[in-house]
Structure 1
Amino acid sequence: MAQVAYLDSMLREYLVYRGYSNTLKALDLEQRNEKDQHFRAERLIEHFNAAVQASDLKALRSLWLHLDNNLFSKLDHTYAVAVKKLENSLLKYYLVTAYSNNKSDKISEFFNILASELHQQSEWKDWFFFSFCKNAEESPTFALFFTKQWQDTLLLSLRNFLTTVYQCLPQPSFVRAEQEAAHMQRLQDDNTRLRARLLQLQQEQQQQLASASSSQNLSGGDGGGTRRRSSYRQQQSLSDILPFDISPPGHIVDDFCIIASEASIVGQASEVQARGLKLLIRNIGSGSSPVMSRKDNGGDKSSSKHRSGSVGRSWI
């Protein structure tokens, strides 16, 4: 409400500046009479009823068109049927009132103006006979619309509908101008602050990289080539690393092949050892064994010494 009061004062200042004294008086009068939003609907009902009683079709349609363009068009599409139903009922109320006031010329004027618009609607099919009907208040087709109960129900439904619309209607752009300006200013301030924070983070990152490179230059190593490689390795990303070019083996070796080869080597060693034992046993049993020949010739000392010495020299 503070924004509305502020804009009312601005509008009053504008009217005074332009010299619209009559408009300013009308504004002051309407502001004094308009206490709450429920009174808006009451005033609209009064305007509708006054136009109907005066058979002023132009004023009736002008007021409804104004509400349709500025209020009803902003509602959800599900309310379109209700809006159209109220409009048709209000026009029928206009015809019934004109018929009751013996204003047949207003009825003819009504159909001359709206015939092209109403003939496409099925509910108006019987109403084109209304201007030629005698005792229409007794006709089964039109008798309901002459009853006070139907007319009061129509005005009450229209009043409740307008009250609900005014309660749910969003504020106009003229009222939200100050709020939207403040919101845009907050967004701009947030954008400036985020840009400054991003610039600060970039500067801190550059300083960290510079300090890291200087510390690598001061620390020892294997020369400038190693430092260059280390700095390049730090800056290198995962997408820059290429896999090693290793050629695949020529043949496939598995554990079963290794076990089989080891088993064949062990079998060959055992066969060699077995042949050695067989040869030793054969030499022991035969006379060519050096041990057995030394025992057989033990009686002849000279020959024994000669043989043993010769044998010992040959062994050594």
Structure 2
Amino acid sequence: MAQVAFVDSMLREYLVFRGYSNTLKALDVEQRNEKDQHFRAERLIDHFNTAIQASDLSAVRSLWLHLDNNLFSKLDHTYAAAVKKLENSLLKYYLVTAYSNNRTDKISEFFNKLASELQQQSEWKDWFFFPFCRNADESPTFTLFFTKQWQDTLLLSLRNFLTTVYQCLPQPSFVRAEQEAAHMQRLQDDNTRLRARLLQLQQEQQQQMAASSTQNLSSGDAGSARRRSSYHRQQQSLSDILPFDISPPGHIVDDFCIIASEANSVTQASDAQARGLKLLIRNIGSGSSPVLARKDNGGDKSTSSSSSKRRSGSVGRSWI
């Protein structure tokens, strides 16, 4: 890979600048022995196997902690159980190898350092008896871990897991330095171009606004001129309009006068009726019957009727 070769050259330049000659020699040796530039999981397995055979607990723990912080922590949470299972199996393989090499001191050191951490896990409950167990390779609890099949299966599973993880993980930031620099340069160029485009659009918008405001002012002046001319035309046309030939209305009739005349006629009729009733009552009170008077004076109707009219009129006038 071109990026890996570029980083190797940068690393060599840095080591020469700092004067790390021994590190530079080791880098040259490893690069000559490296057949390809790609990562191989077998090298990590070799490091683990070498540290376990030497009963170097610190090397095993530091290498696993490095992988856990930089690789395994970036995985999905569903792989957490598998990672923990591989770690515990690798530590059990360390104890079995130390027991096979008669390194009881390393076994005691292991539990002294990790007892507080392991006692919280249920699968390590039986393993606290391991330092005191005689013939542990024959014990039903630990005999499986002494078999070559279990140990080979563990190393193969760890190799496959590391290979899969490294294939899925992105390249380190140090390897992507050149790509990141080119990407940043492209982003800066895009930002500069977009800023220039934005400034151009703002200037065009201001010009359009100025043109539209000028057009509105001119159209407003023309509209006001048209309104003034139409107003003058309206004034001139109003002065030319002749009034309509409308005849004046007739005499205004006062309704109160009508009501008063009606009231006078009703009063006169009521007065005449009252006089007739009074005359009838007076004739009845005098003891003479108008019917008998007609019988007695049947021959002289004209005389009696005229005299009665005079009496009734005189009586009515004198009574009123």
For Structure 1 versus Structure 2, the TM-score category normalised by the shorter chain is 0.5 to 0.7
Task: Give CA-to-partner distance per residue, 1:243-299, whole Å, 9 cap, x none.
Answer: xxxxxxxxxxxxxxxxxxxxxxxxxxxxxxxxxxxxxxxxxxxxxxxxxxxxxxxxx
Tell whether the 8 Å contact from 1:41 to 1:159 is kept in structure 2 after alignment: yes
Distance, in Å, in 2 between the alignment partners of 1:225 and 1:112 is 105
Deviating more after overlay: 160-169 vs 203-212: 203-212
Structure 2 match to 1:136: 136
* Structure 1 residues 96 and 62: CA distance shift in structure 2, 3 A: same
Does 126-135 or 36-45 show the bigger shift?
Answer: 36-45
1:168 paired to 2:168: yes
Post-superposition Cα deviations, 1:142-164, rounded to whole Å, max 9, x if no partner, equal 11001110011011111111111
1:311 aligns with none
1:110 aligns with 110
Take 1:133 and 1:157, find their aligned partners in 2: how far apart are those partners?
A: 29
The match for 2:60 is 60
Aligned residue for 1:255? none
Per-residue deviation at 1:212? Answer: 4.5
Q: Displacement, 1:115?
A: 0.8
Map Cα deviations across residues 71-122 of structure 1 (whole Å, 9 max, x no partner). Answer: 2222222211111111111111111111111221211111111111111110
Amino acid at match of 1:56: D
Query: Is the counterpart of residue 78 in structure 1 residue 74 in structure 2?
Result: no
Which residue of structure 2 lines up, in the alignment, with residue 47 of structure 1?
Answer: 47
Aligned-residue offset at 1:24? 0.5
Find the counterpart in structure 2 of residue 294 from structure 1. none
User: How far has the Cα of 1:225 moved from its partner?
Assistant: 9.4
What is aligned with 1:221? Answer: 222
| Structure 2 counterpart of 1:49, one-letter code | N
Larger radius of gyration: 2
Give the residue type in structure 1 aligned to 2:222: G
The answer on whether the counterparts of 2:48 and 2:60 sit within 8 Å (CA) in structure 1 is yes
Secondary structure of 1:201 counterpart: helix
Match in the other structure for 1:9: 9
- Give the Å deviation of 1:27: 1.1
**Conservation of the 8 A alpha-carbon contact between 1:34 and 1:40:** no
2:204 matches 1:204: yes
User: What's the CA shift for 1:128?
Assistant: 0.6
Letter in 2 for 1:185: Q
Q: Deviations over 1:161-219 (max 9, x none)?
A: 11112211211112222222222222222222222222222322333344445556677
Bigger shift: residues 12-21 or 65-74: 65-74
Taking a change above 3 Å as real, the CA distance of residues 195 and 94 of structure 1, as seen in their structure-2 partners, is same
Of 197-206 and 34-43, deviating more is 34-43
Retained in 1: the 8 A contact 2:4–2:37? no
Q: Aligned partners of 1:88 and 1:212: how far apart in 2?
A: 78
Matched residue of 1:102: which SS? coil
TM-score by length of 1: 0.66
Identity of aligned residues (%): 85
Give the SS at the match of 1:120.
coil
Structure 2: runs of 5 or more not aligned: 229-320
Letter aligned with residue 2 of structure 2 = A
What's the secondary structure of 1:170's corresponding residue? coil
* Whole-angstrom distance in 1 between the partners of 2:23 and 2:132: 45
Task: List per-residue Cα deviations over 1:221-247 (Å, max 9, x = no partner).
Answer: 3557979xxxxxxxxxxxxxxxxxxxx
Count of paired positions: 227
Distance 1:119 1:79 in 2: 23
- Look up the match of 1:30: 30
Local SS of the residue matching 2:155? helix
Secondary structure in structure 1 of the residue aligned to 2:222: coil
Distance, in Å, in 1 between the alignment partners of 2:38 and 2:197 is 51
Counterpart contact for 2:42–2:159, Cα < 8 Å: yes
Q: Secondary structure at the match of 2:172?
A: coil
CA RMSD, aligned part only? 2.4
From the superposition, tell whether residues 106 and 85 of structure 1 become closer, same or farther in structure 2 (CA, over 3 Å): same
Secondary structure of 1:60's aligned partner: helix
Q: Would the alpha carbon gap of residues 178 and 38 (structure 1) be closer, same or farther in structure 2, given more than 3 Å must change? A: closer
Partners of 2:226 and 2:105 in 1: how far apart? Answer: 108
The gaps in structure 1 that reach 5 residues or longer are: 228-316
Query: Which whole-Å CA distance do the structure 1 matches of 2:206 and 2:115 have between them?
Result: 79
TM-score, scaled to structure 2: 0.65
1:295-310 equivalent positions in 2, closer than 5 A: none
